[in-house]
């Protein structure tokens, strides 16, 4: 397990650019909302901590993780500097998990290749609810925090490239 001995919320704060000049879009899946709300809060709090203005953070909800691709595509049109796609897919008894995870991963990758505004992949793809809890504010920290840091860094990269 990649995060077995790592806390996703630990990073060197001195290396993060100030986010006060950027606008961020956050697209949040309503499915598994006990997990996605924790991820959103981690992302939001981290953006604010690094200077983002609350008025420069736009949140949209979509029904499920599959819809994150369309929501992120539309968010890219909102004059944001980066987008964070937040979702949680937990493995069940059918192949649905595999299809959703593959589609969302490929869809977000495609948005990053085709369009100019970066989309950060903050979709947990866990085998169990406990794994999702551990990564959305639990013992492994918060993947939302990690996604916010990536969003700030990618906004900075886009500005400087």
Binding residues for (2S)-2-hydroxy-3-oxobutyl phosphate: 93-94, 135
Residues that constitute the known binding site: 31, 65-67, 88-90, 93-94, 121, 135
Both structure tokens of 29: 């899946």
Q: Which residues are catalytic, by number?
A: 96
The alpha carbon of 18 is separated from its chain's Cα centroid by a whole number of angstroms, namely 19
Mapping DSSP to helix (H, G, I), strand (E, B) and coil, where does residue 153 land? helix
Tell me the binding residues for 5-amino-6-(D-ribitylamino)uracil.
31, 65-67, 88-90, 121
Q: Of the candidates 82, 72, 69, 78, which has an alpha carbon nearest to the alpha carbon of residue 118?
A: 82
Indicate left, alpha or beta for 63 from its phi (over 0: left) and psi (-120 to 50: alpha).
Answer: alpha
């Amino acid at each position: 397990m990649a995060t077995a001995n790592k806390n996703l919320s630990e990073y060197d704060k001195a290396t993060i650019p100030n986010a006060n000049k950027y606008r961020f879009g956050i697209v949040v899946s309503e499915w598994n909302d006990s997990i996605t709300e924790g991820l959103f809060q981690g992302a939001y709090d981290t953006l604010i901590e690094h200077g983002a203005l609350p008025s420069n953070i736009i949140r949209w909800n979509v029904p499920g993780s599959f819809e994150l691709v369309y929501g992120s595509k539309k968010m890219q049109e909102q004059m944001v500097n980066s987008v964070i796609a937040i979702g949680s897919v937990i493995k069940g008894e059918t192949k649905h998990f595999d299809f959703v995870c593959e589609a969302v991963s490929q869809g977000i990758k495609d948005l990053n290749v085709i369009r100019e505004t970066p989309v950060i992949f903050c979709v947990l793809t866990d085998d169990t609810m406990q794994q999702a809890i551990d990564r959305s504010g639990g013992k492994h920290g918060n993947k939302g925090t990690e996604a916010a840091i990536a969003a700030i860094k990618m906004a900075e990269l886009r500005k400087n490239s």
